[in-house]
Structure formats: structure tokens, C-alpha cells
Structure 1
Amino acid sequence: MPRTLFVRLSLLFFVGLGVSQYLSFWVTMTERNEATTNLMVGYIGREVASSVALLDHLPAAERSMWLPRLARRSYTFELGPGMTGGSEPDARLSAAIGKSIADSVGPGYPTTANAIPGSHEHLEVHLKLMDGTPLTIDLHPMSGIPLSPWLSLVMVCQLVLLTGCAWLAVRLATRPLHDLAEAADTLGPDLAGTTLPEQGPEEVARAAHAFNAMQLRINGYIKERIQILAAISHDLQTPITRMRIRTDLLDDDDTRAKMRDDLMQMEALVREGVAYARTLHGADEVPRRIDPDALIESLVADYTDSGQNVTLSGRVSQTLTTRPQALRRVLGNLIDNAIKYSGSGDVVVGRAAGGRVSIAVIDHGPGIPEEQLEAVFQPFFRVETSRNRDTGGTGLGLAIARQLALAMNATLTLRNRPEGGLEAKLIL
């Protein structure tokens, strides 16, 4: 079955219209043929009876002169026995014509009928005039009457008109669903989706109104929770700072070092929480045209200058319209993860299908279990079994990277490499 509702409904309408058009044509032609056949059978019987009566009253010498005048398109008269001794006519039309002639001429003229072999329906009816002269009626019955030459053109035009109306009806019915799907797809992390026009039929207008109201409610709920997260994360910085000052006043060096380490981890978690809340608000940065090669080269150079083992291969070789700070943050998070879990990272730039840009960050670490490749994008999720817990981390790096990628209209995916390690690929 086709996957789209438009094609399914169109196919259903077209097949239904085609079948109904065929049935209507068949019923009309059947009724038409039966009506014309009944008229023709009665007409032939009456005409033949009149012709037989005329021939019977004519002198024998003049009968042959009248035979061409009495002939019709479907039958002729012959003075003679004809082809006798054949089988009885078995076709319904031939049998009806033979019976009609016998009934019309009356019992004074006993008739016999026999079919004539051939590719077309052909029969002969035999009788004798009052003076004993044999008379043969040679019939070539015609089933119905010929169709008008313009009828087929009218039927085709009618089918085309019905098909066009069906296509328009299906399109009008499925267009609101298409608009609704597009509006849902544009509902990004900033929750600034497209507002559907609340017009059209009542059902469509109600669905559009419900969708717009749902967008507003979701936007309000998410913003409220983001503000709570941002406020808590921000307000925690003040007590953490006071606790650090008080920790420095402790006399026990061992306790002071442990508390300072705990406070640094708390401060890092708060910073990441604030950063994650900001990404959920959507990127306020305005997209602009940049040189991605220069941005990536400068980012990798910063890591190599600080002594990190980060390599770069490939080039985009064209400008790109995107949010540069968001792109730098995403790549920075991915490179930080590669360095944290494997000690090095390889940045590979290339082209993807459809003219898109591909930026992959490859590490040589232990990788991630296949069933957790999507779960690691959830906030505060950490892979306990496959990553070293001593390396730290808040579990927000990949969540922030995914949110920023969505804000850039990009996709971020992870996969384990067959030769070992993890590949994080950003498609712009």
C-alpha cells in the first residue's frame, strides 16, 4: 500500500470512480441493447408479415420485381426453398426473431427456421405462400445499434472531469494534515513553531485552534521549568562561593582539599545546568554566513596549542550560513569528550548527501553500548559501564550539543566504529 494518505485516498477514489463508471456504462448499454432488440424484433415481425401478405396478393410473375423493394438492412426475401434441413437457431436473438415472424404471419403460413453456419449470426425462415410457392427470409440479426462516434470522447472527458474533482477533493481533505505535520516539524527546541491559520471548514479550524493552543501551553510549561532550572543553578553559585571561602579557612589540609574538590564539582555542575537551560531557550544567536574551514581550523589549533592530541582532515571549501558560536560549542563538547575518554580526537570534515556538510569527531576509546547510543543525549545521563567514572563529567555535554544542533537545524548522531572507538557526526 502507498504510505501517504493522499496517494491512498486518490487511489481509492480513482479506482472507485473507474469501477462505477464502467458499471454505469455497462448497465446503460445493456438496457439500451435490450430495448432496441425488443423494438427490432417486433418491427421485423410486423414488416415481414406485411411483405408476405403483399407477395401473396401479387401475381407470380411480379413477385421477383418486388423482392429488392421489400428487403431491409437485416433481412432479404428469396423465392425458393433456401438452405433447408439445418439445425434450429440456438441464439437468443435468432430464436426471438423466428418466433416473432411466426407469430406475425399467423397460423396460415407455417414457418420453419434453421441456423446457417458461419462466423456471424445467420438464420433462414421458410414458409409457403397460398399458391404453394416457397419463400425464404434470409436474416442477419444485429445485436443493438451502433454507438455514436462521439460517445467514447464524451465518456473519456467525463472520466477526466470526475478524476480531477476527486483529486481536488482529496487534496483539500489532506492539505490541513500536511500543514499540521509541517507545523509540528518546525516546533524546535525554542518552541517557536508556526501558527496555523484558523480558517477553512469547521473541523479543520478546530484542529488548527487546538494545535495553536497546545503550542502555547507547551511553550509556557517548558519556559516555566527552564526558568526554575536556570534560577536554581544561578542561585546556587552564591552559597558555593561562600562555602569555598570558608573551606579555605579550615586548618585540616586533607579535609580542605576534599571539600574544595567537591565544591569545584558542584560549581561545574551548576555552570553546566545554566548552560543547558540557556540552550533550551533556543539559540538567540543570529545565523550568519561564515567560513567553516577557518572556524574549525582555529578551534583545533586552540587544542593543539594547549598540548592536546587533536587532528584535522578534510575541508568544506565553501561558505556556510549557521550560528558560529553554537557550532563552536557543539564541536568543543564533542572534542572534549573524545579527549576525556580516549586522550585524543580526530576531526574529519566532508560532504554528505544532498550538498550538506558533515563534521565527524572520532575518538579511540571504549565506545558506548549500542542500546545506550540515544540515551546519552538525555540530561545527566552517564554511561557507567563503558566509560571511566574517574574522568568526571556532569552528563550534560552531549545534551547541550544535541539541543544546539537542533537549534542550528542540524542532526547529531553517534555510532561505534567497527575498528574501535566512537564517531560523533554533525550534519549541517
Structure 2
Amino acid sequence: MTSTKLSRRSLVLGTGAAAGAALLPLRSFAQAKEIKLGQTMPYSGPASAYATIGKVEQAYFKMVNDNGGVNGRMINLLSVDDGYSPPKAVEQVRKLVEQDDVLALFQTLGTPSNSAIHKYVNAKKVPHLFVATGATKWNDPKNYPWTFGFNLSYQTEGEIYARYILKEKPNAKIAILYQNDDYGKDVLAGVKRVLAGDKAKMIVAEATYEVTDPTVDSQILTLKASNADTLINITTPKFAAQSIRKVADIGWKPLHFINNVGASVGSVLTPAGLDKSVGLITVQYYKDANDPQWKDDPAMLAWRGFMGKYYRDGNPADASNIYGVIAAELMVQVLKQCGNDLSRDNIRKQAENIKDFKSGLLLPGIAMNTSATDHAPVEQAQLSKFDGKQWVLFGPVLGGAG
């Protein structure tokens, strides 16, 4: 690495044998010893079901380190709690960047939290990689060149549901429940992009909730009263489980779509009741550990071995533990491509140069790609229906129009 790429700040390094202290540039010291990444996660608060993502990613990096690290360097992921609170996320990210001196941010979780730090990290020119949210705004390299998405775009997901309804149930009366923020509104925008013009009247009711609400029971009752026969459910795990249970308990039997981020068998459907989840439809872009077709799949066997050794407390039935490993694999791929140039500029350059990356945990036919004009690595998914035990894939691999 050349001196022009070194941080201007310095760190005093001393040893017991040395009478004086050597001044070494902080960034070169960090790179010589480790690759320091920062992350905020909802280890507490209304989205704490996602906390396992941060834990499984730390476990994955430990496995990588135990096998020699990346280009001989160890990955050090500083994963801190933001409680799914935007002000707390701002506070924590400022500390990670300005005090802990992380090289890059990785998988900061949540649309509200990432929205709060979006301008700051781009002004600081800190790589803001593979955020754990599918909001479309993360793919805006012209205005936010340091931010990269990861999840399937929420708008693409909404489009897929709406196109399926048009094909299979063209006279549907649709009710929509969504979180009242950029995340919920993004999926909704995808639905409405397809259900435009005279098709807009198919939507007969909408209801929102706040992440601070105790339940969504009243919203479900209101939506049922609209006489809708189709429900698009745009909720995070806590509220997804509540709504699935409430729909069943009041005897409502709509064609029920649950968005991907609220579709984990372990953290959503099991608490809601597997019997109450039969018939749900979602989209998937990675393999489901509960699906027997992957029982002897080499990548899934390797993942189970990893979980058994490095994350024994993790629930293999929780889809988030596969999701987190795929994100960590992609991060490692970027670091490998960086070689010995671990400048922030090169990290961004390599994050824009993902070519047909195929994690064994992705569904067949789905690969990750990025470019200088496209910061969204995942752009395809497949529909899936829950049969009471596992999600069952059906139909072709699909993408969005927008």
C-alpha cells in the first residue's frame, strides 16, 4: 500500500523493550494486523429477532480467521446494538467511524437505521456495504456512491406478488398491512407499480403500524372488515407472527402473502403456529434449511457443520442464519479481491466488481452481480408456499421490472 493511501492520523506503538515510541499510520497498522469492520444490529428492541444475523456473521468470520483469515489478515467485526432506533444507530456509527476507526461498515441492519446514517457515511466516504435491508434507495450510486444494498429489492418483491395476483386471481380484493416507514412503503410501491391505472381499484384497504406498537391485532380486524380476500403482509418478524396468528384466530382465510424478511420458519411461523401458516406465499432467493430437498446438498451440509462448530446457540430453522452467512461470504469475496490494497477507495471499487458470485446457499439460477452503476447484488427470487412444515418453491426464477 502506498503512503498516499494512508490515514493521516497516527498511533503511538510501544514495546517493553523500546525506550521510545514508534509512530505508525493508524490505517496501515490496522491493515497489517486485522481488517476492522463495523456493524449496528438490533440486539434489543422491536426487531431483536434479527440479532442472530450479527451473531452468525461474527461466527462466520471466526471460522475464516481460524483458517488463516483473508490474505493473511484477521477480520474483526465490531457488532454493536442500536435497538432498531435511528438516533442510537447514528450515535453508534459515529463511534465506529470516528473512534474505533473501522475500515468499512458491513450489514448495518434496518431501513430506518440505515436511512439515519446514509448521508453521514457517504460524506465520510466510508464503505457502507451490503446493508441488511431491501429498500431501493441503497442502489443509488450516483448520489450515494459508498452505499451498497444486499437484500432483494423490496420494490421488486412487491412487483412479484402483484404480478402473481394479476395472473392467478385477477378479481382479487386486496388488503395491505405495512410498516409505516421507508421499508413498508417500498414494498407497497412495488405492488402499486404493477397495480396501476384501472387495476388500482383491486386494493380495497390499507393499514399501517409503528414499530413501537404493541400489536397489530386492531389493524388485522380493520382489514378483514373490508371484505378483502387477499392480504399482502409487509411486516418484520414480531408483527409478522402476530398478524399470521390473528388472521387465523378470527377465521379470515385470504390468499396471504408474507414478505421475505418476515417469513422465517424459526422466528416467525413457529411462534405464530405452523398450522396457522399453511398456504402463506413469500419469495425466496436462498435455500431453506427446513426444505428436505436440500438435506444432502453439499453447501447446506457445510453450513450445518459450520453452525454445529461455530454457532451452536443458533437456530438452524431460522432463515436469518443462512442469510447472514451469504452476506458474510460476499464480504469475504470483496476483501479477497482487494488483495493488499485495503484502502477505502479500493474496497468500494471491488464491491462494484462482483461478477456472477454464486454462494452455494443461494437458490439455483441466482447469482450476485454489481457494477459502478448497480449497487444491488440480488435482483432475482422465486415464489414459495408454506405447506405446514416447510416452504415449497414453485414457478420460475423472477425479477422486477423496476
Q: TM-score, normalised by structure 1?
A: 0.23
More helix by share: 1
Greater length-normalized contact order (CA 8 Å, ≥ 6 residues apart): 2
Q: TM-score, normalising length from structure 2? A: 0.24
**Which structure carries more strand by proportion?**
2
**Structure number, greater radius of gyration:** 1
